[in-house]
Amino acid sequence: MHLTDTHIVTGTSTGLGRALTELVLERNEIVVATLRKPAMLNDLVAKYRGSRILVLPVDVTDAQQVANAFSKARDAFGRIDVVVNNAGFCILGEVEGVEDAMARSVIETNFWGALTVTKEAMKAFREYNPPGVGGHLLQISSYLGLNGSPGMGFYVASKFGAWAPPSGHGHR
């Protein structure tokens, strides 16, 4: 890693994504913060005056928006060292009671969105970073992907689908 790494963090509006964004900035590193509503980070943009933070509107279910974010990050900072694949959400309700559109939205965001970001990260690490540099991909998942909870069927399915056991480990 470099003295100042460039991080892309998805889902930075609240929670873990917001906390990671703040931590990266406090460590004097660069963050490309992606979220659906960029105004939610206006305070950080004002505090850091945009020198080490680039806020981009990204819905991870839109492959073109994800690709554009990676391109803008490279244009602004030259490289991408760390990608934190964090965007996601949960709905509560019995599986039979959740509307299909909402259930599909959870799967699209938490599984397919994570996969789209992963593909772009691998492309950046392999094709755009200097040879031998690579990068680090942090995939934020959930224990619920392994051990479900009542009322969270679609969230559990989306998180289990985005998690793969280490090679050689079987399922219970």
Cα dist from 19 to 44, 67, 167, whole Å: 11, 24, 31
Residue 141 known to be catalytic = yes
Active-site residue among 37, 128, 155, 158?
Answer: 155
The one catalytic residue in 141, 142, 158, 167 is: 141
Q: Which long-range contacts (CB under 8 A, 24 or more apart) does 17-26 make?
A: 17/84, 17/86, 17/87, 20/84, 20/86, 21/53, 25/52, 25/53
Interatomic CA distance for residues 103 and 16, integer angstroms: 23
Q: Report yes or no: 88 and 114 within 8 Å, Cβ to Cβ.
A: yes
Nearest Cα to Cα of residue 21 among 70, 77, 87? 87
Considering the candidates 37, 123, 149, 159, report the single residue annotated as catalytic: 159
As a residue count, the chain comes to: 172
How many whole angstroms separate alpha carbon 100 and alpha carbon 163? 23
For residue 33, which of 77, 74, 73, 89 has the smallest C-alpha distance?
A: 73
Whether 155 is catalytic is yes
Active site amino acids = 141, 155, 159
